[in-house]
Copies of this chain bind each other. A is one copy, B any other.
Amino acid sequence: MTEDVQINEGGTLRHLLTLENLSGDLVTEILDRAQNFLSVGDRRTKKLPLLRGRSVFNLFFENSTRTRTTFEIAAKRLSADVVNLNIATSSQSKGESLLDMIDNLVAMQADMFVVRHADSDAAYRIAKHVPKGIHIINAGAGSHSHPTQGLLDAFTIRHFKKDFSGLKIVIIGDILHSRVARSQIHVLKALGVNEIRVAGPKVLVPEVLTEMGVTVYNDVDAAIEGVDVVTTLRLQNERMKASLIPSAQDFYKDYGLTKERLALAHPQAIVMHPGPINRGVEIASDVADGPQSVILRQVTFGIAVRMAVMSLLQD
């Protein structure tokens, strides 16, 4: 059902709402295009005319300057006109419904909406509602989670590891509440990764996650053994407030990615993190800044991936 909304009859991508059920071929098409865009960022003139004269609206119903900035940059590098709407303080307070607001923006001849909304269903509802020719990108709901994150993770892994077959990958942290984790798992499975491990305290990484086709570890040291890719997730303060974990210090001791733990992985293993990092909570500073860290490369790749998605969406 979801792919009905985001995939055109011909199999091309109309919206990007979720990585669930997105085929490996479509993912590869996005990554290949992002690869072509990567060099644009290194140029003096970081500009392509692909979206010239198109109107891209950043509809942020929850504040996320970081995410908004990545989409704004991607759209501007494609020469689009970008309008930022922070909607908490605007029409919504006048009681206008979400879809009435969308109808109005569509009537202003919007071409694309980048939607961030606490309600993870909002991007879907908008996508189902808009006429042909308007494209929706889900920029996440809640904490730093959205399909472009999963795509940039995949791009990063492919960049450094070339081939997905035979890779061993571990994701450490709050898998249960993390859409970053789920997005990465979806896309990596679509790309043929067989061994995906998830690790963390039982309350955040319960046994039931095996249903997603991953191996569950509550012992991080065992989970990290021999892997090619380590992703650590940001520890959300809410988890601590909810007493799901005792304290940041305890979490670091038991699950933090230290140099010693990383030494258990493959010597060429890369370290990824969706950012922003909590130094000394889920990751040690010397690992985050160390030679195996590709955390900042992920940010660079993220711009190219967002440019790729924006330029690929079609009726």
**Interface residues, chain A, with chain B CB atoms under 8 Å away:** 41-47, 52-55, 63-66, 69-70, 72-73, 76-77, 81, 83, 85-87, 89-91, 94-97, 100-101, 103-109, 275-279, 296-300, 302-303
Beyond the given A63-B89, A69-B108, A100-B276, please list 7 additional residue pairs across the A-B interface where CB-CB is below 8 A.
A65-B86, A66-B104, A70-B108, A73-B108, A103-B296, A104-B299, A107-B296
Nearest-Cβ distance from residue A306 to partner chain B, whole angstroms: 10
- Chain B contacts of A52 at CB under 8 A? 45, 47
Bound form: Cα–Cα A21–B54 in Å: 37
| 14 chain-A/chain-B pairs, Cβ below 8 angstroms | A41-B108, A46-B53, A55-B76, A63-B89, A63-B90, A69-B83, A95-B278, A96-B276, A97-B279, A100-B279, A104-B276, A108-B302, A108-B303, A109-B300
B42 and A53 form a contact (CB under 8 A) = no
Q: Which residue of B lies closest to A143 (CB)?
A: B94
Interface pair A83/B72, CB less than 8 Å apart: yes
Q: Is the CB of A109 within 8 A of B276?
A: no
A285 to chain B, nearest CB (A): 10
CB distance from A212 to the nearest CB of B (A): 28
In the complex, residue of chain B having the shortest beta-carbon distance to the beta carbon of A73 = B108
Q: Tell me whether A46 and B109 are in contact (CB under 8 A).
A: yes
**What is the oligomeric copy number?**
3
Find the B residue at minimum CB distance from A95.
B278
Chain B min CB distance to A78 (Å):
11
Contacts of A91 in B (CB 8 A): 65-66, 276
Residues of B within 8 A of A72 (CB): 83
Instruction: With CB as the reference atom, state the residue of chain B lying closest to A97.
Output: B279
Return chain B residues, CB-CB under 8 Å to A45: 52-54
Structural contact, A81 and B73, CB atoms closer than 8 A = yes
Is A90 a contact partner of B65 (Cβ separation < 8 A)? yes
Q: Which residue of B lies closest to A101 (CB)?
A: B276
CA–CA, A86 to B53, complex, Å?
A: 25
B55 to A46, Cβ gap below 8 A?
Answer: yes
Residues on the B chain within 8 Å of A85, using CB: 65, 69
CA distance A302 to B104 in the complex (A): 11
**In whole angstroms, how far apart are the Cα atoms of A46 and B79 in the complex?**
12
Give A35 Cβ to nearest chain B Cβ, in Å: 16
On whether A89 and B107 interact (CB within 8 A), knowing A46-B55, A53-B47, A277-B100, the answer reads no
Instruction: Given A44-B54, A54-B44, A109-B42, check contact A104 B63 (CB 8 Å).
Output: no
Q: Is A90 within 8 A of B66, CB to CB?
A: yes
From known contacts A108-B73, A300-B107, infer whether A87 and B65 are also in contact, taking CB-CB under 8 Å: yes
Chain B residues within an 8 Å CB radius of A55:
46, 73, 76
Complex-state Cα separation, A100 to B234, whole angstroms: 14
In the assembled complex, the Cα of A276 lies from the Cα of B93 at a distance in Å of 11
